[in-house]
Amino acid sequence: MDVIIQSAGAGRAAQAVADFIAQALTDKPNLVLGLATGSTMESVYEQLVRKHQKEGLDFSRCRTFNLDEYVGLPAEDPCSYHDFMRQRLFDKVNIDPRNTHLPDGMASDLDAECARYERLIAASGGIDLQVLGIGLNGHIGFNEPSSAFESRTRVQLLSQVTLDQNAPFFPKPKRVPRTAITMGVGTILEARRCLLLAIGPEKANIVAQAIEGPLTRMVTASALQLHSSCTFVLDGPAAAQLQKSGSYQHGIPGQSAGISLLSPMGTQLSSSASPRASLRSSPDTP
Ligand code: GLP
C-alpha cells in the first residue's frame, strides 16, 4: 500500500485522484472504472467534468461500475446513488449511459441482482481502477464492520454510524434506507488498482486504523493492506493521526497536481506528467 499525504489541501488531493483517473482513461480508453459516491468524491467528479469540457477527456468507451446503491430507492430518486452519479458525472461527460452500471436497489429478487452485478463485472473483464472513499466506521462501499474480506456483492444492513453519516443527504422526514446493495470486500480487492481518497479531520482516526492498524473485519478498509496495488491519497487533516507519517510520500505544495503514484512494480509514475498510469491489461471488450 502506498500513502500520499497532500498537505496543500483537500482540493489538491482530489485533483491528484482526478488526474490519475484521467491519465488511466487516456492510456486505456475502454477502462473499466469502479466509482464511489459520497461528498469526498464530488470535487473529483467536478474536476473530471472540467477535464472533459476543457481538455476533451474522452469517456466514450469507458465502462463504469459503482460500489453500491440503497435498497428501495428508484434510480430517479434524488437521494439515490444513480441520481448522484448522473448529476455529478454521467450527464456532464460523453459516457454512454449503457456503459454505466449501479446495482438495482429496486430489484424484486435482490440476491439475484447481486449475482447479476458480479457476473456483469466479470464479463467486462474485471475492474481496472477502483476509486474509493471511506466511511467514518472504516467501511469501503457499504461493507460495514464485521464484513468478511472474502465477501461478494450482497445486501448489507447499514450500521447506525453510517445511517447518521448519510442522513444529511436525505431531506427530513425521509430517512436513510436501512439496507443497501454493495460490492463485497472480496469484489473490491479483485480490482487491478485501488485508489482511496480521504479528506478532513473527521476521517483521521479511521484512516490511521485502516493504514497502520491490524487487519480486521471491524475496519473493512484495512483489507486494502492486502492489495498489491493500492494508494491512499490524504489531505493533511485526514493524515493527522498517522504515527509513521515520515514513512509516506508527501505532495509538494505548488506541485501538488504532479504527485507521483507507484505502479505495482514500483515504477515511479506521475498522475499529471508524461509517465503513464500503470494498469495491468484486461480483456479488450468493446
Ligand atoms: C457512503 C458510501 C461510501 C463512501 C462514504 C464516504 O457511505 N457508500 O462508499 O466512502 O459514503 O462518504 P463521504 O465522502 O461523504 O465522507
How does pLDDT run across 237-273, given as a tens digit for each residue? Answer: 999 999 988 889 887 544 444 445 544 333 334 443 3
Q: Is 67 in the pocket of ligand 1 (CB under 6 A)?
A: yes
Q: What is the DSSP letter of 219?
A: B
Distances (CA, A) of 113 to 69, 175, 227, 275: 12, 24, 27, 40
Please give the Cα distance from 128 to 34 (Å, whole number).
8
Q: Is 39 in the pocket of ligand 1 (CB under 6 A)?
A: yes
Distance from Cα 286 to the centre of ligand 1, integer Å:
30
pLDDT of residue 261: 53
Q: What is the mean pLDDT of residues 178-197?
A: 98
Distance from Cα 136 to the centre of ligand 1, integer Å:
8
Using the predicted structure, report yes or no on whether residue 23 has a pLDDT greater than 90: yes
Atom of ligand 1 nearest to the CA of 162: 7
pTM recorded for the entire structure: 0.90
SS3 231: strand
Q: Is 66 in the pocket of ligand 1 (CB under 6 A)?
A: no
CA dihedral angle for residue 107, residue 108, residue 111, residue 113, rounded to 10 degrees: -30
Give backbone dihedrals phi and psi of 250, rounded to 5 degrees, phi first: -115, 130
Please give the Cα distance from 101 to 10 (Å, whole number).
28
CB 127 within 8 A of CB 91: no
